[in-house]
Structure 1
């Protein structure tokens, strides 16, 4: 039965009228829905103890004031200013600024000079520092205790639930079914925002004459900084500008800006929308739990793996509505993904074994999780790459930045503009310069601002083994130690990787060689290999 016009209007009240009650969860989904931005939570958390504040806004308010007193402009906060105010080493301050830039909604700005300092706005920085208190969602407990006792290579005091299983064991034991789904994680992020949004608003607010909460207001410009953490989508896909969806600043004339709004009103409106989203997600999760999930075969076919997707809330395909492309559960196969095959600019590769995966497209974010004995070739990634819980994997990537966590016996062939970040419980990692190309590589790199003139593949930045953002309680008395670093691959073992040209892609200026220059010792090794082939 078609809903009546009055029912439809009531459903939309979560967006249009903050003074009304929340929509009834039994009604059809609203056409415009609030979502958390996943990127800050997935790529923006840093295990730096001095950046984790547990006193709400008390310390951060003081830090903000000191930064404003030190910086020449509130929109020009540099790593040197941050290092001085927060009292952290300059390399960690650079990491903070670069990480924040990588998770902002807009594409990273052009920086062709590797010594040039990145700059961020103080309001974005405050929100970024606040969410360092976020705790990731725990993996559900495994029902088969025998499965989790088969550890590799041994149990460590630093190991979490997932790091006690090798990636291959994760696939064979179906442990990936116990991992939080996209819907679970979104609900967890929304709950965090629901609890802390009042504090976040106070960090953005400015004081005016008045009494109590009415003296704290947000201008349109400061309100739009909330777009760092949330966004609205219409009909599951089209993103709606934050200021245009709010009842406070919609249709605001740039020549006559809207008056600042009390954070009390904004908080009430945001909480209503967050609760409306949580209601629908909760209903969706409950429905899923009542359906028996099929057991996934280890040797899943290539077509099944590549076309897999996650069913999401609000009656739409979650992967499609959030512009995510998944390559999951591939075993003993080769998978090619080009630009036309990928929806959006975010790709997640997970639980692939004994395979070769090609993702040849310009992207913003890539996550590789729980893979083993696999070669993964990534195109140009303009924001961030995260490699986690992988074993005996070769990663080839041209990217702005990369984070490696809890991996073992992996080799990373990198063309990377920022220092590779290594953290967690790693063993026997190796790094090497970038070693391949494909026809559209230069075009893709230009599109996402990855620069071939800067390659910091051999300058890893090492942080601690304990991740304060996981929800596990670490053993009492265990202090954090620096993670194991990566060694440079022996030049004698370095080879070029040839990508099959299965797709005759056209380019105005086709890439005909590796765009990243090689150190002399690696060039010498390649020349020796060529001579050996010619004369033997």
Structure 2
């Protein structure tokens, strides 16, 4: 009965947006693809861009092809070993090539000195490029470049594969998804929903200046929009990326070998029908040889391009058809609730909304017919990121996450205000975005941490690498193996040595490859006036002012941070990290010991003082008052929020 109802009889907000139309549109665009699926890796885009102006070129492809020659002159050829010189069989086993290696089987790697000479940069910048590349290379699967799995003290000796380096340099043309335009006054103010616990501590002028610079989540692109933007970028530049990996054969045809096609894994990961990661060259039938003992021949670039375009999709696209089918059934159920001709008109929208399920309501009002697959997916309420755990929008609360709560090895803490967030788990990547007046304690992070658009936060993290961009009035307690990078429009930032521990910390450090014997917390590297990859509008002052970077936290302001027992899972109590594994500098040790001695002396003097009852009450009241002031001034008051509970 509902199937015969004309679409014109539906309320205004449902016309031309019915799920049947959306299903038809999505299928015509090829949303229901066959495996293998090629998903864009978010890590290079989120952790790999650097604001170095000399890396930006107007004609990027021609510049990189010229640069290849310079890099080759800096990199003497070396034959690959049996673990990396391989051919593919139709049984997907890796075997060593039995014959003399061809040109495509010769790996050329370039060192920091070679990168600096070819790019005409200082060795300091060349080292930063190499370290950033190492932190963003794909380290999943059976075919992994040596640099991706190297420890931080091995990066310089391993060097970069030239193809990987060229793809990374091409990535520097990426500009992030633009911010949304202002709509009303509430869009500007929504990042400050409540009074902060430390209001009144900072000078009023500083508070006003910082709050005006606050980041509104209504103006910032969502994670879905960011990843849709990344997918568009790869689609647009795919031919150029493949051209970088191609070579010309004797007939003058551009071809790609399976070894060099595998390098595209910097941007893409392949998933089979069971959603398992597989090497790119094994996923592509183009490179499947009939004889396992005969090396696979190169394939024409045009064929590779066509195959990648056909299988390239958003991470949630493999489930898109199921999502559409479910919502279409829900919409049909709503139709059957009304007899023909009795569908409520546009004047009765409120009543119609009352009877609709949340899923149908969200779809009918918010999801438009897609103009491209990534547009449809990024606007879907059923979109969810791949291998990423969100901790979002925590306000005046304490939240603790352990190993069992983290899926995929990556976490994003976003838009938390006046809160304490504990993520006591081993991680590959972690990002903190848009937080204010909060304390974020992260477990060991093996690849990279990025902190962006945060204000008056304390970040406590042991990691291999950290980048801080566009932050203000914040302190970073770091155990970091590589130089911390500060960039963007920053103000009043301080760094200090790592200052806490939890029972499984040493086990997590070993698991992700962070070395507690190396801590470069005070070797700050300040780069650029602004992030050239941001599409966000900036004030004239922010675009021209000199970046200050970060200063060292005075020793008299340093204190150890105690993680409360309620935030530590019971299963972790049997582990034995009982002290900070990162060695504190002597000046900070002396400051901590002096403060401890002063507290003991005060305690002893109070105990031995023979005071009258009234004087004793006055003293206790004064101590409580000073302690309360310290709780608010240091931000430690936030640790008392919801302390007996876990989310």
Q: Is 2:304 the partner of 1:266?
A: yes
Match of 1:59 in 2: 63
Shift of the 477–316 alpha-carbon distance from structure 1 to 2, 3 Å rule, reads: closer
2:307 match: secondary structure: helix
Structure possessing the higher relative contact order (Cα contacts under 8 Å, 6 or more residues apart): 2
After TM superposition, the structure 1 = structure 2 runs for residues 323-342 of structure 1, keeping only pairs within 5 Å, are 323-342=387-406
Superposed CA offset, 1:396-452 (max 9, x none): 000000000111110000000011100011110000000001111111111111001
> 2:49·2:533 contact (CA, 8 Å) conserved in 1?
yes
Q: Give yes or no for contact 2:227–2:378 (8 Å, CA) kept in 1.
A: no
Q: Which has the larger radius of gyration?
A: 2
SS of residue paired to 1:133 = coil
CA apart distance, 1:291: 3.2
Q: CA 1:27–1:45 in 2, change beyond 3 Å: closer, same or farther?
A: closer
Q: Say whether 1:88 aligns with 2:121.
A: yes
| Displacement of 1:234 | 4.0
User: Secondary structure in 2 aligned to 1:349?
Assistant: strand
Residue 470 of structure 1 pairs with residue 508 of structure 2: no
1:515 is aligned, of 548, 562, 581, to 581
Cα displacement string for residues 488-529 of structure 1 (whole angstroms, at most 9, x for unaligned residues): 111111111111233223488621111111100000011112
Higher helix proportion (structure 1 or 2): 2
| Distance in 1 of aligned mates of 2:565 and 2:291 | 51
Q: Which runs of 5+ in 2 are unaligned?
A: 1-25, 78-106, 141-147, 193-203, 325-359, 368-375, 603-647
Deviations 1:190-213 (A, max 9, x none): 2111111111111111221114xx
Cα distance in 2 for residues equivalent to 1:198 and 1:136: 20
Paired residue total = 482
Using the size of structure 1 for normalisation, the TM-score is 0.81
- Residue 98 (structure 1) aligned to one of 104, 109, 131: 131
**1:465 alignment partner, SS class:** coil
In the TM superposition, residue 164 of structure 1 has moved relative to its aligned partner by 5.5
Distance 1:54 1:23, change over 3 A: farther
Take 1:291 and 1:479, find their aligned partners in 2: how far apart are those partners? 39
| C-alpha contact 1:204 1:218 (8 A) present in aligned 2 | yes
Asked if 1:533 corresponds to 2:599, the answer is yes
What is the CA distance between 1:24 and its match in structure 2? 3.0
CA distance in structure 2 between the aligned counterparts of 1:460 and 1:358, rounded to whole angstroms? 25
Shift of 1:335: 0.6
- In structure 2, the residue matched to 1:69 is 73
Corresponding residue SS for 1:385:
strand
The DSSP-based 3-state class of the residue aligned with 2:571 is: coil
Q: Distance in 2 between matches of 1:477 and 1:368?
A: 25
Correspondence for 1:3: none
Note the alpha carbon deviations across 1:365-402, whole angstroms, 9 max, x for none: 10100101111000000010000011110000000000
Aligned to 1:47: 51
TM-score by length of 2: 0.68
Shift of the 222–410 alpha-carbon distance from structure 1 to 2, 3 Å rule, reads: same
1:173 aligns with none
Query: Which stretch of the first structure deviates more once superposed, 41-50 or 111-120?
Result: 111-120
Q: Is the 8 A contact 2:32 2:318 kept in 1?
A: no
Instruction: Summarize the alignment of residues 22-41 of structure 1 with structure 2, pairs less than 5 Å apart.
Output: 24-25=28-29, 28=32, 30=34, 32-41=36-45
CA distance in 2: counterparts of 1:504 and 1:66, whole angstroms: 56
**Aligned residue in 1 for 2:266:** 228
C-alpha distance in 2, partners of 1:363/1:336? 15
Moved more, 93-102 or 269-278: 269-278
Matched, 1:119 2:159: yes
SS at match of 1:435: coil
Deviations 1:101-128 (A, max 9, x none): 0000118434364895451111110100
Asked whether the 8 Å contact 1:23–1:276 carries over to 2, the reply is no
> 1:114–1:454: 8 Å Cα contact kept in structure 2?
no
Aligned mates of 2:550, 2:163 — CA distance in 1: 35
Asked if 1:109 corresponds to 2:122, the answer is no
Secondary structure of the 2:125 match is helix
In structure 2, C-alpha distance between the alignment counterparts of 1:530 and 1:216, rounded to whole Å: 70
Moved more, 506-515 or 133-142: 506-515
Q: Which runs of 5+ in 1 are unaligned?
A: 1-21, 171-175, 294-310
Deviation at 1:68, TM superposition (A): 0.8
Q: 1:187 aligns with which of 225, 228, 245?
A: 228
Contact 1:407 1:427 in 2 (8 A): yes
Going from structure 1 to structure 2, the CA distance change for 1:275 and 1:40 (only over 3 Å counts) comes to closer
Instruction: Quote how far apart the aligned CAs of 1:484 are.
Output: 1.4
Secondary structure, counterpart of 1:186 in structure 2: helix
Indicate the SS of the match to 1:256.
coil
Name the SS for the 1:361 alignment partner: coil
> What RMSD over aligned residues (CA atoms) do the two structures have, in Å?
3.5
For residues 322-374 of structure 1, give each alpha carbon's deviation from its aligned partner in whole angstroms, at most 9, with x where no partner exists: 11100000011111101011111110000001111000111011010010111
Q: Distance in 1 between matches of 2:155 and 2:586?
A: 23
User: Residue in 1 aligned with 2:181?
Assistant: 141
1:241 paired to 2:279? yes
Deviations, residues 210-249 of structure 1 (Å, cap 9, x unaligned): 14xxx22111110100111012334684323312221212
Q: Is 1:187–1:278's contact at 8 Å kept on the other side of the alignment?
A: no
- Determine the C-alpha separation between the residues in 2 that align with 1:100 and 1:474: 28
Displacement after TM superposition at 1:473 (Å): 6.7
What are the residue-to-residue correspondences of 1:63-462 with 2, within 5 Å? 63-73=67-77, 74-106=107-139, 108-111=148-151, 113=153, 116-117=156-157, 119-144=159-184, 147-148=187-188, 165-167=213-215, 170=216, 176-211=217-252, 215-234=253-272, 237-250=275-288, 255-274=293-312, 290-291=364-365, 318-319=383-384, 322-462=386-526
* Aligned-partner Cα distance in 2 for 1:349–1:233: 27
Give the match's secondary structure for 2:578: coil
The question of whether the paired residues in 1 share the 8 Å contact of 2:33 and 2:311 is answered with: no
Relative distance call for 1:110 and 1:209 in structure 2 (3 A) is closer
